[in-house]
Amino acid sequence: MSPLQSRAEARISASALTHNLTVLAARAGAKLLLPVKANAYGHGEHLISQIAAVHPGVWGLAVSVPLEAAEVAAVNPGTPIVLLTPPTPDELPLLADLGVRLPVATLEEAEALPANARAHLKVDTGMNRLGARPDLAVQVGRRLAERGLLEGAYTHFATADEEDLSFADEQLRRFQGVLAQLPPVLAHCANGGAVLSYGALPGMSLARPGLASYGFVPPHLAGVVPLRPVMTLRARVTALRTAEMGETVSYGNLWRAERPTRVATVGVGYADGYPRNATLKAQVTVAGERRPVLGRICMDQCMVDVTGLDVQIGDWVEFWGEGGVTVSDVAAWGGTNEYEVLTGVGNRVERVLVD
Ligand SMILES: *Cc1c(COP(=O)(O)O)cnc(C)c1O
C-alpha cells in the first residue's frame, strides 16, 4: 500500500444511498432508472452504480454521454443502461453491442439504429432541449415499434422542482397523449422533483430521481420522504499557526485577525470543488464545533479558525455531511445549487465507501 495519502476524501454512505433508493422507489410506485451521470453527481460512478445495480428498487442506470455509458456498462454487466443524450452515428454500433439503450428523436435516427439496438423514444414536451415534439414522436415511436426496437419512451420536466406545477402538469398531459398512441413501453418522466411532488404517476414504469437519490430536495419538498445525504466531504489539517492581532490570512488580505487566532490550514480548495465564491461566508465542522473559514478559499487549501480547540496536524475537518453543514448550506454560500457543488467534487478527492 502506498504511503501517499489523499488530503481530502468524500465518504460515500452505502446505507444512506440504499435508504434513499428504497423510499424514492416506494414514493414513485415504480422502479428507478438511477441517474449516475457526471460521475454519479460527483459521488463516484463505480461505487454508486455497483450499489444501485443490486438494489431491488432499481431497474437500471441513466448516463448522459456515451463514454459514461461504456464505463458504467463495463462494471455492471447485465444492468440496463440508458443513454440520455444523442450519440453520433459512428457511436451507434458499439453502444448497441454494449446493450446501452439509445435515445431516439427523429425518423432518420430510427432508421439508422442497428438491428440489435434498444431504443427509448425521447419526447420534447416543453423543455426544448432534446427530443421529438409530440406529433413527430408518435411517428418515430411507431417506426421503432415496427422495427422491433422500441423499449421505452421518456420526457423531462423543466419545472417539477418548483411549487407551481402547472407547466409540469401540461408536460405530463402531452407525454401521456403520446403514450396513448403507442404500443406499451417502459415509460418514464419523473425527476426527483416530480417523484416527490406527484408520487406515483399513472402509466409510468420507471422514475429518474437524481439529486434526491443523493439526499437533497428543494426546501418546499423537504419532509415528503425522509432522505439522507450520501456524501460527507472532509479533509486533513496540514499545518497550524497563530495569526497575531492585526495580521491577515490568505490571498488579498480579505480577513484580518481582531485577536490572536489559531489558524488551521486544511487540504481542500476550489480545485477539489469547494466553491471559491463561499469565501468569507463558509463554515466547517471541526472537533465537533462549527467554525469559519478565514479569508480567500485557495485552489488546494483553505484556512479555518480553530482557536481554543484541540486540533493537531492530520485531524479531519468536515466541509459537509450528515448532521453538520449541509451541501445546501455550501451551495447557498457559494451562490450556486447542490447539483453544481456535488458535480464539482474533483478527482483528487478520494471516494471512500462507508456503511
Ligand atoms: C439529470 C436528469 C435527471 C435527474 O434530475 P434530478 O433533478 O437530479 O432528479 C432526470 N432525467 C434527465 C433526462 C436528466 O438529464
Distance of CA 123 to the CA centre of its chain: 23
> Can you give the pLDDT at residue 323?
80
Q: Whose CA is nearest to atom 8 of ligand 1?
A: 210
Distance from the CA of 211 to the center of ligand 1, in angstroms? 8
- Fold match flag (14-217 vs 231-354): no
Segment holding 248, helix H or strand E:
strand 248-249
Find out whether 299 is annotated in a ligand binding site: yes
pLDDT of residue 62: 98
Position 99 scores a pLDDT of 98
- Ligand 1 contacts (CB < 6 A) are 35, 84, 156, 191-193, 208-212
Beta strands at 316-320 and 231-243: parallel, antiparallel or unpaired: antiparallel
Cα(235) to centroid(ligand 1), Å:
29
Q: What is the DSSP letter of 54?
A: T
pLDDT at res. 294: 98
Domain boundaries, the chain: 14-217, 231-354
Q: How many residues does the chain have?
A: 355
- Name the fold adopted by 14-217: TIM Barrel (3.20.20)
Tell me which residue of 55, 47, 94, 96 sits closest to 72, measured CA to CA: 47
Mean pLDDT by 10 residues, the chain (355 residues): 92 98 98 98 98 98 98 97 98 98 98 98 98 98 98 98 98 98 98 98 98 96 96 98 98 98 98 98 98 98 98 98 94 98 97 97
Mutate which of 37, 39, 81, 84 for ligand 1 pocket (most atoms within 8 A of beta carbon): 84
Q: 236: how many CB neighbours lie within 10 A of its CB? A: 19
Please state the atom number of ligand 1 nearest to the C-alpha of residue 195.
9
Confidence (pLDDT) at 49: 98
- CATH class, domain 231-354, is mainly beta
Q: What is the pLDDT of residue 2?
A: 87
**Residue 130: per-residue pLDDT:** 98
Q: Which set of grid coordinates corresponds to residue 62?
A: 441513466
Question: Can you tell me the distance from the alpha carbon of 252 to that of 78, in angstroms, rounded to the nearest whole number?
Answer: 54
Angle at alpha carbon of residue 172, lines to 68 and 207, rounded to 5°:
40
Catalytically active residues are 37, 251
- 255: its cell numbers: 480577513
Nearest-angstrom CA–CA distance, 51 and 22: 12
> Got the DSSP string for 142-174?
HHHHHTT-EEEEE---SSTTSS--HHHHHHHHH
Q: Ligand 1 centre and the CA of 208: distance in Å?
A: 6
